């Protein structure tokens, strides 16, 4: 049986730190994430936030 749309959304929100990395342009695969613990995933998200802020600063300089 497949899960409902509401359940799928609940799970996606619960696992957002993982999905965010998968959907980013960081080239992290599901297999990569499977080998990471939650601390690694949170650190990678922090690094992504830093990267995004740096890109925004670079854009403002142009």
Q: Which pLDDT score is estimated for 1? A: 85
For residues 35 and 54, give the distance between their C-alpha atoms in angstroms, rounded to a whole number: 28
DSSP character for 19?
Answer: H
Residue 21's CB is within 10 A of a number of other CB atoms, namely 21
| pTM as predicted | 0.83
> Whose structure tokens read 């509401």?
6
pLDDT along the chain (62 residues), means of 10: 96 97 93 96 97 94 84
Asked if residue 42 lies in contact with residue 17, where contact means CB atoms within 8 angstroms, the answer is yes
């Amino acid at each position: 049986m497949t899960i409902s749309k509401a359940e799928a959304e609940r799970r996606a929100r619960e696992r957002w730190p993982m999905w965010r990395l998968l959907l980013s342009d960081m080239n992290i695969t599901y297999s990569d994430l499977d080998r990471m613990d939650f601390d690694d995933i949170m650190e990678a998200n922090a690094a992504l936030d830093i990267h995004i802020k740096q890109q925004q600063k670079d854009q403002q300089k142009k």
